[in-house]
Amino acid sequence: MSKRNIITNFMHLPVLVLIEIFRFVIVSMTSNPNFLTPDPALDDFEDLVDDLETKHTLALSGDRQAHENMVAAHTLVLENATLLALYVKKKAKGNLVILTSSGFPLTKIPGVPQRKGFRVKQGENSGDVWIVCSAYPKAKAYVWEIYVGANPPIDESLWKFVKATTQTKTGISNLTKASTVWFRYCAVTKDGMMKWSQAIDFVVG
């Protein structure tokens, strides 16, 4: 019996990545004999995903109300995705084949290369840095986290989410000059989040 499970924390992923993941889930679960009575119903979940995509497009205009509508739609999609994932877990009972057939990304999936191509360099202004990693095959996004301290944290919860991007390079501003900052990233594919990279440190100039 597999110990792998459904990933339910999608909060930090870009909206467009979420939409692609959930559309894959809908296709995978439709007419799937392992999931005859999805809760919520797939048609209802698809309507929510469609609504999120529409409201995300409208929010790109910068309109405040459009942004608030998108946030509300985003929250509703995440809530229902969690309910659907819990339904899958209940039906699968730990069976890896059934879990995989749902289309939901799983935990304990293959990791990214540890240090290859991962580096930090000083930005033009004091307190600014650029972080770069090598492209991961079929990655849809990259999630970046930092920790300020002489040594990397023992407690995973101490890592601070910075941003999620679709590029392998991003800038971070307003760090404290002369501070030691640790950086790590993970790639996101249609299968979900890969393992976190090995952390690297950098003294901010």
Query: Which CATH number characterizes residue 123's domain?
Result: 2.60.40.10
Q: Does residue 74 sit in the same domain as residue 148? A: no
Q: Does residue 133 sit in the same domain as residue 197? A: yes
Contact between 69 and 53 under an 8 Å Cβ cutoff? The reply is no
| pLDDT of 152 strictly over 70 | yes
Where a domain ends, among 101, 133, 168?
A: 101
Where a domain ends, among 70, 101, 132?
A: 101
The pLDDT assigned to 12 comes to 66
Query: Is 8 inside a domain boundary?
Result: no
Domain containing 76 equals 15-101
Question: Where in the chain does DSSP place strands (E)?
Answer: 119-122, 129-132, 141-148, 160-165, 169-172, 180-189, 192-193, 200-203
Query: Is 111 inside a domain boundary?
Result: no
Query: Is 19 inside a domain boundary?
Result: yes
Query: Is 182 inside a domain boundary?
Result: yes
The pLDDT assigned to 164 comes to 87
Q: Does residue 138 sit in the same domain as residue 91? A: no
| Number of structural domains the chain divides into | 2
**From 55-59, 112-116, 168-172, the region with the lowest mean pLDDT:** 112-116
The pLDDT assigned to 2 comes to 40
Q: Does residue 55 sit in the same domain as residue 123? A: no
Helices (H), 60-95: 64-92
Where a domain ends, among 40, 75, 101?
A: 101
The pLDDT assigned to 109 comes to 47
Q: Does residue 135 sit in the same domain as residue 83? A: no
Distance between CA atoms of 113 and 85, rounded to whole angstroms? 28
Query: Is 6 inside a domain boundary?
Result: no
Contact between 61 and 89 under an 8 Å Cβ cutoff? The reply is no
Q: Does residue 132 sit in the same domain as residue 75? A: no
Query: Is 109 inside a domain boundary?
Result: no
The pLDDT assigned to 72 comes to 92
Query: Is 60 inside a domain boundary?
Result: yes
Does residue 149 sit in helix, strand or coil? coil
Q: Does residue 87 sit in the same domain as residue 144? A: no
* Residues present in the chain in total: 205
| pTM score | 0.55
> What is the chain's mean pLDDT, rounded?
85
| pLDDT of 118 strictly over 50 | yes
Q: What is the mean pLDDT of residues 98-119?
A: 70
Query: Is 106 inside a domain boundary?
Result: no
